[in-house]
Amino acid sequence: MSSFAMSQYRSNEFQTASPAKVIVAFYDGALRFLKAGVQSLNAKNYALKGQQLSRAHAIVNELRATLDHTQNPALCGELERLYSFVLDCITESNMNADATKLHGAVRVLEQLRSAWAQVAEEPAIRVVGAP
């Protein structure tokens, strides 16, 4: 399959996915970039680290920005707090070139991803905070 065809397939798959599956995809992307950032830091490739952590930061920031506090204020408040923690970890790691700062962020995102993956497998429901 050509790269254009694969790109079209993935675009269509993303556009037709449930909101929960889209959120899981966001977590997958953020985790992929965080883990790549750790590898780049360990390899002392600071330019690549900056790109990867910036992309992870943007994804988590988008997740935070799409929270709908009118639907479930308590849940959204907790997610906001967790996303802020993750963003702080990314920023500190990026500024101090310290991969250990990312371990907590990865743990939080892995747990959230796991929970959203379970939601994505449920029958269609209204998802709070879905983009």
- Tens of pLDDT, residues 16-53: 678 889 999 999 999 999 999 999 999 999 999 999 99
pLDDT, residue 18, reads: 87
Distance between CA atoms of residues 63 and 39, nearest Å:
24
Element holding 28 (H helix, E strand): helix 19-42
CA dihedral 102, 83, 127, 110 (to 10 degrees): 20
Q: Which amino acid is at 29?
A: G
Of 51, 39, 62, 43, the C-alpha closest to 94 is 51
Of 107, 90, 111, the C-alpha closest to 37 is 90
Q: What is the CATH number of domain 19-121?
A: 1.20.120.340
pLDDT, residue 74, reads: 96
Both structure tokens of 31:
């985790």
With contact defined as beta carbons under 8 Å apart, do 100 and 52 qualify?
no
Least confident of 44-48, 81-85, 91-95, 121-125: 121-125
The Cα-based distances of 116 to 7, 17, 28, 64, 67 in angstroms read 25, 13, 11, 15, 14
What is the reported pTM? 0.82
With contact defined as beta carbons under 8 Å apart, do 92 and 84 qualify?
no
